[in-house]
Amino acid sequence: MSAVDRINGALRRVPVLPLYALGFVPAAVYFWLALQNRLGADPVKALEQEYGLIALQLLIAALVVTPLRDLARVNLLRFRRMLGLMAFYYVVMHLSVWAVLDRQLDWPRIVEDLTKRPFIMLGMAATVLLVPLAATSTDWAVKRLGALRWRGLHRLAYPATALGAAHYVWLVKAWPLEPLLYAAAVAALLLYRAVRGRQKATVRATGARRTA
Amino acid sequence: MLIRSRPTIRYSEVTPKATYLNRRQLIAGVAALAATAPGLAAAAKLNGAPSPYSIGEPPTALEHITTYNNFYEFGLGKDDPAKNAGALTTAPWSVAIDGLVGKPGSYALEDIVPAVLEERVYRLRCVEGWSMVIPWIGFPLRDVLAMAEPTGSAKFVAFETLVRPEEMQGQRGGFQTLDWPYVEGLRLDEAMHPLTILAVGLYGESLPNQNGAPLRLVVPWKYGFKSIKSIVRITLTEDVPATTWNLQAPNEYGFYSNVNPGVSHPRWSQASERVVGAGLFAARRETEMFNGYAEEVGAMYADMDLARYY
C-alpha cells in the first residue's frame, strides 16, 4: 500500500462532524482573549483581522482540495463542505465584529462605508456571494438543484475567494508581503482551475469527435 | 479640554526649581541609557515640568504605548517594533542640522536637549483610525531651530530618520515596503508653533526605542505618521520637502495631513476613532478638528481648502 493510500485510508476514518466544533475553537479563544483585554492595544481590530484572516485561509483550503486530489491523489473531498461552511461562519463573525464592535451599529456610517469604500464593498460582495453557497450546502439542496446546476452555482466560491483576497490587499497601508502572498495563492489556484477546465473541455471535444 | 494658546503662568512657577532636571543629570541619564541599551529596562528617569498645553485626560497604559507602534524600520506588525527595536544603539547620537541655517553642523544630542524639559500630555491620532493619550517629555522644536538660526529664505523644515539596516531589521531584505530613509516635513510656521515638540521621553522616562528614541517629533494636530522618529537630520528648505507616505500614496497622504474628521481617507472615514486601551465594547470617539487643537492652530490654515490640502 502506497503512502498516499495510507493517508487516504486514515482520512476516511476522520469523522467530519467534530471538525465543525474544532473549527470554532480559534474564534472562541480569540474572543475570550479580547474580553480579557489580552489581544493587544486594539482588541476590536485584532479580533476583526483574526476572523477575516481565518475566513480567507479556509476559503483557500477549500480551493486546495481539487488540485491536491489531481496532483497528489490525496482526497480531502469529504471535508470540503466543512471547510466552505466554516469559511462562511468566519466571514459572518468578521462582518459582525466590524458592524457591532468596530462600527457600533452606526447605520449611517455603515451605509457610507458600504457605498464609498471600495475595499469594504469588495468584502461585502464576497460575503453576499457566499450566502447562496451556505444556503445550498445540504445534500437535500444538491438533489433539489441537480448536480450540474449545483456545481455551477458553487463556482461562486472562485469569485468570492478572489474578492476576499483583493479586500485584504486593498485594506492595508503600503504593500506588506502577507496579503500579496495570499493573493498570489488565490491567483494560482484559480489559474489551475481555468487550465484544468480547458483541458477537460479539450478532452471531451476530442473524445466526442472520436466516437462520432 | 483646557488648552490656552499661551501659558498664563511660567513653567518656573508651576514646577519648583529643585525638580528641574539639570543638565548634568540629563547627560548622566543619556549616558546611562547608552551603557545599558538596548531595551526598555534601560529607561532613564526624566522629569518634565507640567505644561498648560497638556490635555486633562488620563494617559493610555504604558504597555499599550510601547507595544502598539508603527515603526516600519523594525517591521510592519504593530508589535514588531517592541520586539525588534532593542537592537538599536541610541548613544552616541547626533543630529545634522543643515540647509538654510546660519549655523549648520552636526549637533550632539546633549547639545540639542535643553536642561529643562516639559511634560506634554497629547492625544496621538493615527491615520488608521485609533488614538492614544501619551505623556511626552520634550521641548519645543522652535528652540532647536532658533539655535541653528534659519535664514530669511527658509520656508520648510525637513526631517530624516536613521538608516541603519544592521540594527533596523525592517530596512534589511529584498522586500522593502517604504523607501529609506523615512522623511517628513513641516511648514516653518508649523515647526515654530509652540505645540510642536521634540520628545526625548514619555511617562517620566527616556523614550523606549520603539517609540522613536532618542529623539522624535510630536505634532499633536497632525496624523501620527507626521511625528517622525529617531531623527538624524533636520534641514531647512525653501521648497516643500518630500514626505515618505506622500511618496508612497500621494492621493491618500498629503503633505499637511492635519487631523480632520471632515476629510476622509480615500479608503476609510476619519470621522471617529477607536480609543486604544478602552476595551472590546468601548464607544468610538468622535474625532476632533485638528485633533482638538483648532483654537491654537486653526489660524495657520485659515485661507486653505483643507479638502484639497489634506
All structural domains of chain B: 13-299 (3.90.420.10)
pLDDT (tens, 9 = 90+) of chain A, 212 residues, equals 688 999 999 999 999 999 999 999 999 999 999 998 888 889 999 999 999 999 999 999 999 999 999 999 999 999 999 999 999 999 999 999 999 999 999 999 999 999 989 999 999 999 999 999 999 999 999 999 999 999 999 999 999 999 999 999 998 888 888 999 999 999 999 999 999 888 887 877 776 666 55
CB of B256 within 8 Å of a chain A CB? The answer is: no
ipTM computed for the complex:
0.80
B257-287 core/surface letters (b: 16 or more CB in 10 A; e: else):
bbbbbebbbebbbbbbbbbbbbebeeebeeb
Partner-chain residue, chosen from B68, B280, B284, that has the shortest CB–CB distance to A34? B280
- Which residues of chain A does B78 touch, with a Cβ-Cβ cutoff of 8 Å? 40-42
Give CA–CA dist B203/B45, Å, rounded.
9
CB of B76 within 8 Å of a chain A CB? The answer is: yes
Please name the residue of chain A whose CA is at the shortest distance from the CA of residue B252. A173
- pLDDT for the residue numbered B40: 42
Q: Mark out the alpha helices in B113-266 (DSSP H runs).
A: 141-148, 188-192, 244-248
- Dig out the grid coordinates for A41 from the structure: 492595544
Please name the residue of chain B whose CA is at the shortest distance from the CA of residue A35. B280
Mutate to test the interface with B, among A100, A102, A173, A177 (most CBs of B within 10 A): A173
Please name the residue of chain A whose CA is at the shortest distance from the CA of residue B173. A177
Q: Which residue has the cell 511618496?
A: B247
Size of interface A-B (CB pairs under 8 A): 63
Distance from CA of A71 to the nearest CA of B (A): 31
Please name the residue of chain B whose CA is at the shortest distance from the CA of residue A114. B268
Interchain contact, B280 vs A101, CB within 8 Å? yes
Residue A46, classified by CB atoms within 10 Å of its CB into exposed (0-12), middle (13-18) or buried (19+), is buried
Q: Which residue has the cell 441537480?
A: A146
Interchain contact, B267 vs A109, CB within 8 Å? no
Mutate to test the interface with A, among B276, B280, B281 (most CBs of A within 10 A): B280
Residue A172, classified by CB atoms within 10 Å of its CB into exposed (0-12), middle (13-18) or buried (19+), is middle
pTM confidence score: 0.84
Partner-chain residue, chosen from B76, B269, B279, that has the shortest CB–CB distance to A109? B269
Interchain contact, B264 vs A35, CB within 8 Å? no
Interchain contact, B274 vs A119, CB within 8 Å? no
Q: In this predicted model, what pLDDT tens digit does every residue of B144-197 receive, in sequence order?
A: 999 999 999 999 999 999 999 999 999 998 778 899 999 999 999 999 999 999
Angle at A21 between CA A15 and CA A22, to 5 degrees: 80
Partner-chain residue, chosen from A40, A47, A118, that has the shortest CB–CB distance to B67? A40
Q: In this predicted model, what pLDDT tens digit does every residue of B32-75 receive, in sequence order?
A: 444 444 444 457 899 999 999 999 999 999 999 999 999 999 99
